[in-house]
Structure 1
Amino acid sequence: MEVSLIYYCMSLLRNCIIGIIVRKLYRKCILIIVKKRYLFCFACPVRPLYPMDEELIKLCMVNQLQRFGLTEHFKDEIERILEQIYWNYKDRESKVIVMTMNSAAQLYKDSLAFRIFRMQGYNVSASMFCWFLNDEKFRNYIEENCQSCSAVMLNVYRATDLMFAGEYEVEDARSFSKKLLHKALQIASSNQFNFDSAVPNFHTMVEYELRSPWIARLEHLEHRMWIEQKDSNACWMGKASFHRLSNLQNDKLIQLAMKNFQFRQSIYKHELDHQLKGWTRKWGFDNMSFAREKTTFSYFAIAASTALPHYSVMRTTVAKAAILITVADDFFDMEGSLHDLRILADAVQRWDSNGLSGHSKKIFNALDDLVTDFAIKYLQYQGIDITNHVQDLWREAFMSWLTEATWSKTECIPSMDEYLQTGMISITAHTLVLLAACLMDPSLPKQIIKSFSHEYQTVTELLMLICRLLNDTQSYKKEQEQGKLNSVLLHTRENPDVKIEGSVAYVKDIIDKKNKEFLEHVLMDYQSNMSKSCKHLHLSIFKVFQMFFHSCNRYDTDSDKQILQDIQKAIYLPLAVQPSKPWKQHSFPQLPHHVRSGWKKDYQLRINSHIALPFKQYQNSRRNIVALHQISKSPLQVLAYNNNISLLKNFI
């Protein structure tokens, strides 16, 4: 009953924040700007005073909802906003409108729009924000004023995270923005410029972006960071101006984000402590001396990568699969003799535990329990029995582990192609993502089920290859000591003149190219019949492997303080949110009378007709406010209105 009430409350979020959060925030943002009579943007070499860009305000609102992890509650409203702005961009392109391309505000907006649109699957070209590379005068200005343009360059750098293969201008934009951000940090470190005087913690935010690749970050932790750094959510910043949505009296939005995060945390803690750890103890995985006990690591990675509270069955099933994969892989690598491994692999092929004993029997029984439970749940959802398909998926994994163990124990040296063909299976990334996809999206087409019979789609094959190569770049030293081979060691063996560092660089270069191909297939592959939610699951598993193996092997160590701290933050530690810092009034210089008098009256009338009047009409139609609901483990205050008016009706 409690869970039903929680889900019911969460489903009311679209109706509960009408006018209190988004509309009130947007209206006050506009009225404050009108009151101040100007926007002062970036101290550009052209006129520094611009009327407010309403599209930018909307994009900033969408960006903030994404950062706070609230998009699941406002999907329809966000889609309408983005569709409107997207077609406005397309309309300007079709009419060949010459835009002012020497405006830092325009570059900020275009790079923000590019990132949001591309992440949502819109077809956008890199020229949408890379136009500044062809404007030498503007580039020179940015280089000379890298401190005041640092917010713009940070947005450009973020946009380049979503780079596709062959987009060389995006590579140039990334190099340019990265160079200037490093330069700005150096100037700040010498006390010649204070980032944080306008935007709190901006210096830390820039360092974080440069240090931590987007592809290696998990959503749930990202949401926590932005909630705790709420004062850093800048709309734009220049030498003398700074607008941030989060301080425009939107405490309700912060409160909602906090409650939403706490709600997810309570679910994750319950699933880990009361379901996963008990399952591990049930099969004795915590007492196998040869095996890595990775229950917490496995669950943390799956839960924090998706940040969706509603898919409990999916999270626990995939986490159990990851735990079992770790134990079975260790058994094949370190514990079992070749004879024992063949017996276990044969039992999996027959799906019969006869002849098994000890660790082999425990592993098989746990596998059978997992597959049976999964097949029953899928049968309940879809009415289809896919037991044989799932068993085939695991048969393939166990045979790949046996093949690799045979190579190692018999000192057989495979070719690179042979190794990758087997290694892409043995990494089992596809096992995790296909199991998750079936439970998360019951409407998956039949082609996904065919993937269980080894007919993998391109996006799945790219995921398998990238995850295998990532693991190889961080595990080659350990595997060399154990007498095993991987892609790095095979490349060195096939190219005697190349040192091991060169082979690592060679494999990382392949990973970089495949990363771009993978992102394009996830975000833009309209030929694939795979659903958007399934593609984003591929992206989640991709980011999990990047998190574990991008810079070091974080999965095989229990002493990595950062990942241990991340686990605590994701599941156990409460949010550390400080009171908002006051908005600096001195950052708004007064304009000469002749500048502000010309358009003030006309623009005030436009604002009133577009926002204030509809908002007033809405207030007149508002009904009684329904009081809050108290929920035991995750208290959630819900303000709901009786009338079912769209959240962003007037905002759009």
Structure 2
Amino acid sequence: MGIFRYFAGEIKRVLDRTYRCWLQTHEEIMVDTATCAMAFRILRMNGYDVSSDELYHVAEASGFHNDSLGGYLNDTRTFLESHKASTVSISEDEFILDTIGSWSGTLLREQLGSRGALRRTTLFREVEHALDCPFYTTLDRLDHRWTIENFNVTSHHMLETTYLSSRYTSRDILALAIRDFSSSQFTYQQELQQLESWVKECRLDQLPFARQKLAYFYLSAAGTMFPPELSYARILWAKNGVLTTIVDDFFDVGGSKEELENLVTLVEMWDEHHKIEFYTEQVEIVFSSIYNSVNQLGAKASLLQDRNVTKHLIQIIPESVVKDPEYNELFRLMSTCGRLLNDVQTFEREYGEGKLNSVSLLVLHGGCTSISEARRELQKPIDTCRRDLLRLVLREEGAVPRPCKELFWEMCKVCYFYSGSDGFSSPVEKAREVDAVINEPLKLQGSHASLVAACCVRETKPR
């Protein structure tokens, strides 16, 4: 629900204890399949070294038919937790997870399609969400909203342990999540207004060729870097997305050969750019926006780090600056995954514009006989890059700090999120998600609604 930062100490202690039990193959975890699958998934995603080999007994259940499943594999919750565990694969060699994912996904879809008792339970929505929105395909903040709106207080029990006092109830946790999400939306709205003012101040809205997608870029920032203390990071992330897209559009359709050459020269000269003239007003707007934004970011970062980092931003961190190959590998995996996801989704539009991408190249030169076959073929390297990136992000050792590596993973999720449809180029796609994260109040019913009212009253009281 996005409130884990309030319980960091308690969560760490529970995870450490769970990991000790995992290493000892303690029956408290291993006997119950749903618990075992959940422990594996949560431990792995928090950087603990756990092997999927311990789930061999779950994979063996693939030989059973749904009607004959017995013992520890006879309920939907077990199927669901097993399926979730299968999605955190970090290697092509984890065949156990592939097997679990195949049979659990099949059984869950069969249950969704039936007219049985599952349709009348809250678990139905959870299964539907897990199948439609794997964790690597959606933004964190959208997941938080979904969990809050679908949280069933009566079915979640907070057990009294040495780590979590009994004074916390499920209702307390939900109230905190509602208050946190609602207050963050107010912050997001203010930040988006600030960005809209920046676009006008830079005159970026006067460029006729530029796609105006500020809300989408800010959504990817607010949806992943959601804590309040990351306000400046969200704003800079969105600015970078806007400028990158404008330059892309300028080179694709907006600029003449002379304008593009002028822009390249200005960027190469950087602080000495005043020695030459702007070829057109368009070039001036584009370059000035880049120049001022990079220098502002550099000044802010240099102040916080007590060293000059502006030169690294100007050089876009080349190999001579970043010596460890881990940086290059993070960039390569994330960028490749994003590039291929985009190609698969935008093939028709780009083909109509006379452009080639990896889909059309596979048909023309790669031996694929159809577009559908080429798209299926590209899914293999996409999955490989995603798994390899997750493994690199979760690895404790390495030169790149974990919080920095996690940004690469979040950006990969953004690529998946926008690849669901050609939403980036559509004037209406993703508008619903923008509203869900930034504008629309939580939609809660029954007793949950009273919690919303209570939280709103609490937020508006003078302090």
Q: Do they superpose with TM above 0.5?
A: yes
Gaps of 5+ in 1: 1-67, 237-247, 397-446, 582-629, 639-652
Residue 248 of structure 2 is aligned to residue 378 of structure 1: no
Give the counterpart of 1:363 among 256, 271, 286.
286
Give the counterpart of 1:574 among 432, 441, 449.
441
Q: What CA distance in whole angstroms lies between the structure 2 residues aligned with 1:345 and 1:453?
A: 29
Question: What is the one-letter code of the residue matched to 1:149?
Answer: D
Q: For 1:220, what is the secondary structure of its paired residue?
A: helix
Q: What CA distance in whole angstroms lies between the structure 2 residues aligned with 1:578 and 1:152?
A: 28
Residue of structure 2 in register with 1:482 after alignment = 353
Q: What CA distance in whole angstroms lies between the structure 2 residues aligned with 1:261 and 1:136?
A: 40
Residue of structure 1 in register with 2:7 after alignment = 74
Question: What is the one-letter code of the residue matched to 2:134?
Answer: P
Q: Which has the higher contact order (CA 8 A, sep 6+)?
A: 1
CA 1:79 to 1:217, structure 2 compared with 1: closer, same or farther past 3 Å?
same
Q: Give how far 1:293 is off.
A: 0.1
CA contact (8 A) 1:467 1:545 kept: yes
Superposition pairs of residues 634-645 of structure 1, within 5 angstroms: 634-635=459-460
Residue of structure 2 in register with 1:330 after alignment = 249
Cα deviations by residue, 1:33-83 (Å, 9 ceiling, x for unpaired): xxxxxxxxxxxxxxxxxxxxxxxxxxxxxxxxxxx2111111121101110
Give the counterpart of 1:536 among 378, 387, 406.
406
CA contact (8 A) 1:156 1:174 kept: yes
Residue 169 of structure 2 is aligned to residue 169 of structure 1: no
Q: Give how far 1:578 is off.
A: 2.1
Residue of structure 1 in register with 2:161 after alignment = none
Q: What CA distance in whole angstroms lies between the structure 2 residues aligned with 1:573 and 1:363?
A: 33
Superposition pairs of residues 105-124 of structure 1, within 5 angstroms: 106-124=32-50
Cα deviations by residue, 1:284-330 (Å, 9 ceiling, x for unpaired): 22232211101111101111122221111111011101011111111
CA 1:334 to 1:539, structure 2 compared with 1: closer, same or farther past 3 Å?
same
Q: Give how far 1:454 is off.
A: 9.5
Residue of structure 1 in register with 2:313 after alignment = 390
Residue of structure 1 in register with 2:183 after alignment = 263
CA 1:137 to 1:473, structure 2 compared with 1: closer, same or farther past 3 Å?
closer
Q: For 2:152, what is the secondary structure of its paired residue?
A: helix
Q: Which has the larger radius of gyration?
A: 1
Q: Give how far 1:146 is off.
A: 11
Residue of structure 1 in register with 2:384 after alignment = 513
CA 1:268 to 1:569, structure 2 compared with 1: closer, same or farther past 3 Å?
same
Q: What CA distance in whole angstroms lies between the structure 2 residues aligned with 1:481 and 1:473?
A: 14
CA 1:142 to 1:379, structure 2 compared with 1: closer, same or farther past 3 Å?
farther
Q: What CA distance in whole angstroms lies between the structure 2 residues aligned with 1:471 and 1:456?
A: 23
CA contact (8 A) 1:215 1:543 kept: yes
Cα deviations by residue, 1:379-403 (Å, 9 ceiling, x for unpaired): 1101111222111119x8xxxxxxx
CA 1:466 to 1:194, structure 2 compared with 1: closer, same or farther past 3 Å?
closer
Q: For 2:321, what is the secondary structure of its paired residue?
A: helix
CA 1:139 to 1:132, structure 2 compared with 1: closer, same or farther past 3 Å?
farther
Give the counterpart of 2:147 among 226, 245, 258.
226
Residue of structure 2 in register with 1:186 after alignment = 113
Q: Give how far 1:226 is off.
A: 0.9
Q: What CA distance in whole angstroms lies between the structure 1 residues aligned with 2:204 and 2:53?
A: 53
CA contact (8 A) 1:375 1:387 kept: yes
CA contact (8 A) 1:393 1:453 kept: no
CA contact (8 A) 1:219 1:305 kept: yes
Give the counterpart of 1:558 among 395, 402, 427.
427
Q: What CA distance in whole angstroms lies between the structure 1 residues aligned with 2:220 and 2:339?
A: 17
Aligned length: 443
CA contact (8 A) 1:259 1:635 kept: no
Residue of structure 2 in register with 1:442 after alignment = none
Q: Give how far 1:488 is off.
A: 2.1
Q: What CA distance in whole angstroms lies between the structure 2 residues aligned with 1:139 and 1:253?
A: 39
Q: What CA distance in whole angstroms lies between the structure 1 residues aligned with 2:445 and 2:248?
A: 45
Question: What is the one-letter code of the residue matched to 1:74?
Answer: F
Question: What is the one-letter code of the residue matched to 2:201?
Answer: K
Cα deviations by residue, 1:353-379 (Å, 9 ceiling, x for unpaired): 633222111010000111110011011
CA contact (8 A) 2:55 2:96 kept: no
Q: Give how far 1:466 is off.
A: 1.1
Q: Give how far 1:536 is off.
A: 1.3
Between the aligned residues of both structures, percent identity stands at 25
Q: What CA distance in whole angstroms lies between the structure 2 residues aligned with 1:577 and 1:88?
A: 38
CA 1:202 to 1:267, structure 2 compared with 1: closer, same or farther past 3 Å?
same
Gaps of 5+ in 2: 158-167, 449-454
Alignment RMSD:
3.1
Residue of structure 1 in register with 2:163 after alignment = none
Cα deviations by residue, 1:98-139 (Å, 9 ceiling, x for unpaired): x997x6xx0110011111101100001113334222357877
Q: Give how far 1:338 is off.
A: 2.5
Residue of structure 2 in register with 1:157 after alignment = 83
Q: For 2:25, what is the secondary structure of its paired residue?
A: helix
Q: What CA distance in whole angstroms lies between the structure 1 residues aligned with 2:58 and 2:186?
A: 46
